[in-house]
Amino acid sequence: MIRRLVLGWLLVLCVVPTWALPPEVAARIAAGEGDERVAALQQALAAGDESLGPFLRALQDGRVRLKGGQALVIAEGAEAPPEAEEPMLNNRMRREIDSALAGLDLLSADRAIRAKALATLRDDADASKLPLLEKALAAETDSDLRSKLGALVAGAKLSSTDAAQRRTAALELAGSADPATRALLLERLGSETDAEAKAAMKKAVDAIGDRLAWGERAQLLFSGLSLGSVLLLVALGLAITYGLMGVINMAHGELLMVGAYATYLVQQGFRAWAPAAFDYYLWLALPASFLAAALVGAAMERTVIRWLYGRPLETLLATWGISLVLMQTVRTLFGAQNVAVENPGWLSGGWALLPNLTLPYNRLAILAFAALVLVGMALLLARTRLGLMVRGVTQNRRMAACVGVNTAQVDTMAFALGSGIAGLAGCALSQIGNVGPDLGQSYIVDAFMVVVLGGVGQLAGTVYAGLGLGVLSKLLEGWQGAVLAKIALLLLLVLVIQKKPQGLFALKGRSVE
């Protein structure tokens, strides 16, 4: 007798009572046929029983046992009673339990938990969960989650047996701009039997499709402007070295690479010595990339290019050789593989305007950065003594020398300035793509296209050509693919040069040298 009493007390200690959840409901969920278990689960979920959540989590964790037609919950760390059976959970039942738990989490006080539950239920809402969803909608205070929950309720109504409710749901969903909602409507449309509900669903599908089309157009336009801003950054340095100085610098792409690797080195320095300030490494990487590329450019001009002014073919060959030397130097120092440059936290993520329209923060930052570099470069050339001397030497080298301008020094400073701007472009490119020895090769041809198309010596033409080529390139890529788009752009450039050899925005005057 004493032994039986001890075993009974041990069984009480290791079993958590489930009287808060009706015993017959718990037993039906834990045992029986699949359809019956799912029906019992949905019934308990619709009743909004608060004890359902702990029971389902225990069932997931394998802490429920069946004995004598009852479902017993075993306390954590305790042993199961002898001769008790563990309920079987197949994939269908596990999915139903996950969905039910997500529905219960919609009533949580934690916004993050509610948001996660909404994401889980996004593709798994049906009419059986309507009472719980409507209860959660009535209690929701966050405007963003409330909007998503309203769409979820309307989506669940689409599976209702009431045709009027399905029509109402279709009208409510017509204002959505979510591709998943459109896909759900299309799925329901194929099996809809009520004519009015079918017409409402068809109208909602068309309305969402029109709204998504505008999002796709806006995304295409932004992608084109983003590419155009990158081309503009790359071409601004070339606008000085080629547009103003007339030097065909085939190593311009490698100056981008120097700026990108300078950014990588600064990042590694912050990671090693100041990890707490890692998010601010770009503020040091910008001047570092400018100085690194400017010093390399100045060394190129003083040692090689200064002897080749007025000899474009020799300059082209010499700078091409320098580009090979720079690429091999980088391969020797850093290896042939790409290196990882990580975005700071404030450049990660994006601004979601529509479900199919997200503006990445790093791309938005490059757009703003390109505008700042352009304004700074225009002010430097128009309002500073260096800009005055550069423009004077460009227009008439001999006359500038006659009035006391050191033309050799101006050449070096102008070439260093163009190279430094290329380094800034490399720093920007490191935030949106891979950094490797071949980084510059992807942009050098496009940069020359921008400068030639915009007009030699014209900053405004460089802006128009860069942004225009970026948008046009994205439009053609969406129509014919990347390779044919590039061929079409080259053909367009040839046609423009045939008609306007000095570019679309050539300098006006008696002569253009």
pLDDT at 13: 39
Question: Does residue 15 carry a pLDDT above 70?
Answer: no
In angstroms, rounded to a whole number, what is the distance separating the alpha carbons of residues 156 and 137?
A: 13
pLDDT at 507: 54
Question: Does residue 348 carry a pLDDT above 80?
Answer: yes
**What's the pLDDT band for 510 if we cut at 50, 70, 90?**
very low
DSSP class of 505: T
pLDDT at 94: 84
Q: Is the pTM of this model over 0.75?
A: no
In angstroms, rounded to a whole number, what is the distance separating the alpha carbons of residues 151 and 425?
A: 44
Q: Which of 14-18, 23-27, 69-73, 133-137 has the lowest mean pLDDT?
A: 14-18
**What's the pLDDT band for 267 if we cut at 50, 70, 90?**
very high
Angle (CA) 193 177 123, round 5°: 60
Per cent of the chain over pLDDT 90 is: 17
- Of 404, 417, 396, nearest to 301 by C-alpha is 417
Residues in contact with 268: Cβ distance below 8 Å, sequence separation at least 6, in sequence order: none
In angstroms, rounded to a whole number, what is the distance separating the alpha carbons of residues 26 and 16?
A: 13
Mean pLDDT of 293-321: 89
Tens-digit pLDDT profile for residues 70-80: 887 887 777 77
**What's the pLDDT band for 12 if we cut at 50, 70, 90?**
very low
Query: Which two tokens mark 42?
Result: 């949905």
**What's the pLDDT band for 5 if we cut at 50, 70, 90?**
very low
pLDDT at 43: 80
- Of 153, 205, 215, nearest to 180 by C-alpha is 205
DSSP class of 310: T
Overall size of the chain counted in residues: 513
Mean pLDDT of 342-353: 86
Question: Does residue 236 carry a pLDDT above 70?
Answer: yes
Spacing of C-alpha 410 from chain mean position: 42
Average confidence score pLDDT of the chain: 81
pLDDT at 84: 79
Query: Which two tokens mark 7?
Result: 């075993």
Highest mean pLDDT, choosing among 94-98, 282-286, 376-380, 493-497: 282-286
Mean pLDDT of 13-37: 69
**What's the pLDDT band for 90 if we cut at 50, 70, 90?**
confident
Mean pLDDT of 147-155: 77
pLDDT at 49: 67
Domain locations along the chain: 1-105, 214-499
pLDDT at 269: 93
Mean pLDDT of 126-133: 72
Question: Does residue 121 carry a pLDDT above 90?
Answer: no
Is domain 214-499 annotated with CATH 3.30.70?
Answer: no
Mean pLDDT of 500-506: 67
Output the CA torsion sign for 95, 96, 97, 101: positive
**What's the pLDDT band for 321 if we cut at 50, 70, 90?**
very high
Question: Does residue 17 carry a pLDDT above 50?
Answer: no
Query: Which two tokens mark 449?
Result: 């296209």
Cα dist from 282 to 258, 275, 361, whole Å: 15, 13, 14
Question: Does residue 223 carry a pLDDT above 70?
Answer: yes
Tens-digit pLDDT profile for residues 408-434: 888 889 889 989 999 999 999 898 888
Query: Which two tokens mark 433?
Result: 């793509």
Mean pLDDT of 70-92: 79
